[in-house]
Amino acid sequence: MDYKLDAYIPTIVSQPSMKPDGALSVSGSVVYGTFGYQWYKNGVALAGGTGQSAEIPFSAGLSSGTYTVKLSNSFGSVSSAGVNFDRNVALRPYIPTIVSQPSMTPDGALSVSGSVVYGTFGYQWYKNGVAVAGGTGQSAEIAFYAGLSSGTYAVKLSNSFGSVVSNSVKFDRTKFSMFASVLGGTLPGDSELSGQVVSNFQIGKTEVTWGEWKTVREWAATHGYSDLADVGAGSVDPYPVINVSWYDVVKWCNAKSEKEGKTPVYQVSGVTYKSGESDPTVKTSANGYRLPTELEWEWAARGGRQTHGYTYSGSNDLNAVGWYSDNSSGASHEVGTKAANELGIFDMTGNVWEWCWDLYSSDFVYRRLRGGSWDDDASSATVSFRGYIGNPGYRDVSTGFRLACSSGQ
């Protein structure tokens, strides 16, 4: 009688083993019907059910220990061999891995790349051990223009299975220039400024950000630049500053110069320009920050001596290089997120209008604005467009600026 029952008792086809998705699994068979199964961890009943296989998914909270499973039906039961399960070992294939350690990208960002078996991972950057920026994706980047400052950086990649921390990397902001050095030349024939000569100069790789504006503004308010208190606006720190007049930005340039120990460029009656709405003069020997001239702006936007003759700054495809009315969703965007031009300069097409130094004419107080904006059509974004001018006291949600300085200063 016992011999005949054996044929109806479940049999184990494969002993417990780890599946690719991190589950412990065993398979069994019966002559007909199904069998019940009961898993044990370290001899204590853990989970059970009915079927043709017996599995405990990793996602069900499988922890380290020794596991067995009993298969049974009305005719009898059979127990598997024991299997030792180490959760830490089982997790490893599913935890994100770092493909490349943090390094500096050509546009001045710290970047790391990682991978996971499936899905995405979260990332959290740390500066000197303090969390600074995070997100979700297949790469983890902190852009220089988003406010990256000197310090020691590391990044943690994580998902529901665990996390991994990168090597640390030291970043010295003083060794990375926010400026592009531009060799001079002559504006081409298709420019309204055709034939005019530009000397060597330096120009900001991005528009001045809201974060940078606030940092200087706070210093300026306690150093004689009372006009700048509470002036300016922006979405978040890495977006361009907006709602700044020509007078505001000229005074801000002087404040930034003073803050960094440079000689301010703009003067009124021989004194550093700090307040009021005046038409300042330029101290040509000064090594401080200033607005670009219109000649400098257009020469840089065209790519200088490296120009490819594009319609827009860096491309004939405006969507590749600029934010304008057709793609901006009605707002400015983080600086440097479109492609750079031939000189590594961002957003000279679109995003926000940029103040230049120049008067519209010798008998007219309006100043030049160049580059188009998120609120304007493609025609305003060409490197040659000069049709927009502004009252120097004018502030607007689509107007900002970028810095320049004389070559070698």
Share of the chain above pLDDT 90, in %: 52
Burial 72-92 (b: 16+ CB within 10 A, else e): bbebeeeebebbebeeeebee
> Which range has the top average pLDDT, 78-87, 228-237, 359-368?
228-237
Residue 254 DSSP SS3 = helix
> Which range has the top average pLDDT, 5-19, 49-63, 151-165, 168-182?
151-165
List the structure tokens of 5: 């029952």
At residue 32, φ and ψ (nearest 5 deg) are: -155, 160
How much is the mean pLDDT over the chain?
87
> Do the bridges between strand 130-137 and strand 121-127 make them parallel or antiparallel, or are there none, so unpaired?
antiparallel
Local structure of residue 340 (DSSP, 8 states): P
> Is 55 a residue whose pLDDT tops 90?
no
Q: In the structure, what pLDDT confidence band is assigned to residue 1 with cuts at 50, 70 and 90?
A: very low
Residue length of the chain: 409
Q: Which of 83-97, 214-228, 272-286, 358-372 has the lowest mean pLDDT?
A: 83-97
Q: Are 373 and 350 in contact (CB under 8 A)?
A: yes
Instruction: Transcribe 180-197 into DSSP letters.
Output: EEE--EE--TTSTTTT-E
Residue 405 DSSP SS3 = strand
How many angstroms separate the CA atoms of 109 and 103, rounded?
8
Ordered domains of the chain (ranges, CATH): 2-90 (2.60.40.10), 95-175 (2.60.40.10), 179-406 (3.90.1580.10)
Q: In the structure, what pLDDT confidence band is assigned to residue 112 with cuts at 50, 70 and 90?
A: confident
> Is 60 a residue whose pLDDT tops 70?
no
Residues 304-338: tens digit of each pLDDT? 999 999 999 999 999 999 999 999 999 999 888 89
Q: Are 158 and 166 in contact (CB under 8 A)?
A: no
Angle value at C-alpha 397, between 396 and 403, nearest 5 degrees:
80
Q: Specify the pLDDT at position 29.
A: 83
Mean pLDDT along residues 354-370: 90
More confident residue, 131 or 385: 385
More confident residue, 234 or 45: 234
* Identity at 135, one-letter amino acid code: G
Q: Which residues contact 230 (CB under 8 A, 6 or more apart)?
A: none
Query: In the chain, what is the straight-line distance between the N-terminal and C-terminal CA atoms, in Å?
Result: 102
Q: Specify the pLDDT at position 76.
A: 87
Residue 116 DSSP SS3 = coil
Q: Are 126 and 154 in contact (CB under 8 A)?
A: yes
Q: Specify the pLDDT at position 193.
A: 96
